[in-house]
Homo-oligomer: A and B are copies of this chain.
């Protein structure tokens, strides 16, 4: 193969930069497009879609699938798998991360019961976040 199969175009570098700058945040394609466009107005939406796909394949970003919403994307934590969960507030729709996994023993039970080798999981918890909880008011 003579020429490289992954060229570092300025659009691609820019998009990766956008992900890097928003560490720990999720973005939809449209949000990413808006941020990228503010830095380089010529960029096209198709390029954003294509590079999101490319960065996913390179494992540089991760897809976050949440029910009833467009997919989010976030920068990968290069370390290791680092499986974390998402808590979605039903009031303000904010997404809170929870860093620990905690599902090992649950997975063991399921694996034995169903003879199903679990390799991965996606978990979303719904509820009310700390901000939206009624504060402990004094009575009346």
Give me the interface of A with B, judged by CB distance under 8 Å: 63, 65, 67-68, 85, 87, 89-90, 96, 98, 100, 102-103, 106-107, 109-111, 113-130, 133
B106 & A128 in contact (Cβ 8 Å cutoff): no
What B residues does A122 contact at CB under 8 A?
A: 67, 123-124, 126
Q: Which of B63, B85, B133 contacts A115 (CB 8 A)?
A: B133
For the complex, give the distance between the alpha carbons of A125 and B102 in Å.
14
Those 8 A-B pairs whose CB atoms lie nearest each other, nearest first: A65-B67, A115-B130, A120-B126, A118-B127, A117-B128, A119-B127, A117-B127, A121-B125
Provide 6 A-B residue pairs closer than 8 Å at the C-beta atoms, listed in order of the A residue. Answer: A90-B119, A115-B133, A117-B127, A119-B128, A120-B125, A123-B123
Nearest residue, chain B, Cβ from A64: B67
Nearest residue, chain B, Cβ from A132: B117
A87 & B106 in contact (Cβ 8 Å cutoff): no
A120 & B127 in contact (Cβ 8 Å cutoff): yes
What B residues does A113 contact at CB under 8 A?
A: 98
